[in-house]
Structure 1
Amino acid sequence: MRIVVCVKEVLDPAAVNNYALAGNLKIAADGRTPDVAAIPRLINGYDEQAMEAAMRIRDQGVNCTITAVSIGSDQKTLLKHCAALGADEIVAIDPGSAAIDGQVVANILGAYVKSIGGADLILCGRQASDDDQGVVPLLLAEKLGLAAVTLARAVEVEGHSVKVVRATADGDEVVQGSLPAVVTVSNELGTPRFPTAKAKMAARKMAPVELTAASLGLTAQGLQPVVVLLKQFVPQVQGNCEFFSGAPADVARQLIERIRAA
């Protein structure tokens, strides 16, 4: 079976938060993108867990080919990390110079999946840490006419079906459906594995398949975003700390008074 894992490169969320709290996160002159020359880029955490879900399916004894695909002009570092994790194929798709939104990303990924004759299972992170929208997997499922299962904490392939344990606010939910399907993976899956030194060395020699949106047959209309980012800004972050003193009962009374006053 063929498993396609959709991955995205994002700014390191921890570094972004630290810069924001220190008041050093700035927006570039275009008013839409962060000025982040010193912030490292890495694989989206949820997408890394989607890679882990694919590897666990292989560990279950399923004979599968795992393809990691990403959209962007320079994705070699990200994709070679996926190769070190265990991807058999890595694919980089250049969308061109046009601004893209979730709709365009789904169009490109859908066109790629169709170009390879389809996939038995498409795994995605539940959302990206930079925009937190989580719309691409569902748009992709709609464009391919596939069922979608979200918030997976465990994924198992049983013959021609997939069983997913979903992490919901009301507790775990187990669903099962026929393949092919799209599944989004959540952080409840657990800590992803680390690539070995040997795997990293082997991944350095793997070259990604490089494609363009045009080579996938997408028209200008298919690359036209529906949602356009107009402005992005960094909110003012203020932290205040006040200490109460006295006996525990007095501290509790002061705290209740302050909460009521607020």
Structure 2
Amino acid sequence: MNIIACIKQVPDTNEVRIDQKTGTLIREGVPSIINPDDKNALEEALRLKDKYEDAKVTVLTMGPPQAEVALKEALAMGADEAILLSDRAFAGADTWATSTTLAGAIKRLGNFDIIFCGRQAIDGDTAQVGPQIAERLDLPQITYVEDLEIDGNTAIAHRAVEDGHYIVKTEMPVVLTAIGELNEPRYPSIKGIYEAFREKEIKVWSLDDIIVDTSQIGLKGSPTQVKRSFTPATKSAGEMLEGSTQDKVRDLIVRLKERQII
């Protein structure tokens, strides 16, 4: 079984600041992490590897050279191979251009059974890249996967919806997008960390290594236009009411009337 896990290195959103003049994220000095949903996708790929002796997990990401850090962590967790798509031609990509580039790399890899992606990235929250990869590769897809079972050549997934889940079955190869409820990602082992940083190499692919329509990648191939970026306004501090339950209810009613809420 050949499994591809697509991950993304994202800024830790607890530390994100926005340049008010340009409307872009200030990334200097901001710690980066593996996108949380992508980590669940990677963990599920590794669980399948633990279950099936012939399984191989390849981790794929697109980004600048520093994205190697995320790939090293993935290797330390147990992935077999890591590929970084890095080229100035890929820069400035929206989801459309990103999925085009990733699909081009996946086509070169070939011979895969499952492609795992996270539901969405915390720096964009679009939930588009996984489904777009499936469309570009003409593959079935199951999104919002909260439970997974493999039966022969069939993937059986619980797809989360607002008030429950659907059970969806499809033949492989398939694209699956993971949510946090799917599993609890493992920590890298000491041995895994040693092997990732001392023994395993990360392959770096440029535009020359994949076949894509260059008009559909990078900034020029991105139809999305961001008009404005901003941080939410800070809310005023709350007020704790003291006294008995009766006193609290009376004070609450007085305050609501003062604000003309009731």
In the TM superposition, what whole-angstrom CA distance separates every residue of 1:199-233 from its partner, at most 9, and x where no partner exists?
10100131111111343122321211111234322
Find out whether 1:234 has 2:226 as its counterpart: no
CA contact (8 A) 1:8 1:43 kept: yes
1:151 matched residue in structure 2: 144
1:213 matched residue in structure 2: 207
1:65 offset after TM fit, Å?
Answer: 1.1
Distance 2:228 2:26 in 1: 14
Distance 2:187 2:226 in 1: 35
Please report the RMSD computed on the Cα atoms of aligned residues, expressed in angstroms.
Answer: 1.9
1:140 matched residue in structure 2: 133
CA contact (8 A) 2:38 2:118 kept: yes
User: Aligned pair count?
Assistant: 253
Which of residues 83, 90, 101 in structure 1 aligns to 2:82? 90
1:7 matched residue in structure 2: 7
CA contact (8 A) 2:6 2:60 kept: yes
CA contact (8 A) 1:53 1:154 kept: no
1:171 offset after TM fit, Å?
Answer: 1.6
CA contact (8 A) 1:167 1:188 kept: no
Find out whether 1:48 has 2:36 as its counterpart: no
Percent identity (aligned): 28
1:148 offset after TM fit, Å?
Answer: 0.9
Distance 1:62 1:178 in 2: 21
Distance 1:243 1:109 in 2: 51
CA contact (8 A) 1:57 1:155 kept: no
CA contact (8 A) 1:160 1:179 kept: yes
Distance 2:223 2:23 in 1: 17
Find out whether 1:36 has 2:27 as its counterpart: yes
Structure 1 residues 183 and 109 mapped into 2: Cα distance closer, same or farther (>3 Å)?
A: same
SS of aligned partner of 2:57? strand
Superposed counterparts of 1:76-87, under 5 Å: 76-87=68-79
Superposed counterparts of 1:158-169, under 5 Å: 158-169=151-162
Q: TM-score, normalised on structure 1?
A: 0.89
CA contact (8 A) 2:40 2:184 kept: yes
Letter in 2 for 1:79: L
Find out whether 1:57 has 2:48 as its counterpart: yes
Indicate the larger mover: 99-108 or 203-212: 203-212
Superposed counterparts of 1:63-212, under 5 Å: 63-74=54-65, 75-97=67-89, 98-204=91-197, 205-212=199-206
Unaligned runs of 5+ in 2: none
Q: TM-score, normalised on structure 2?
A: 0.89
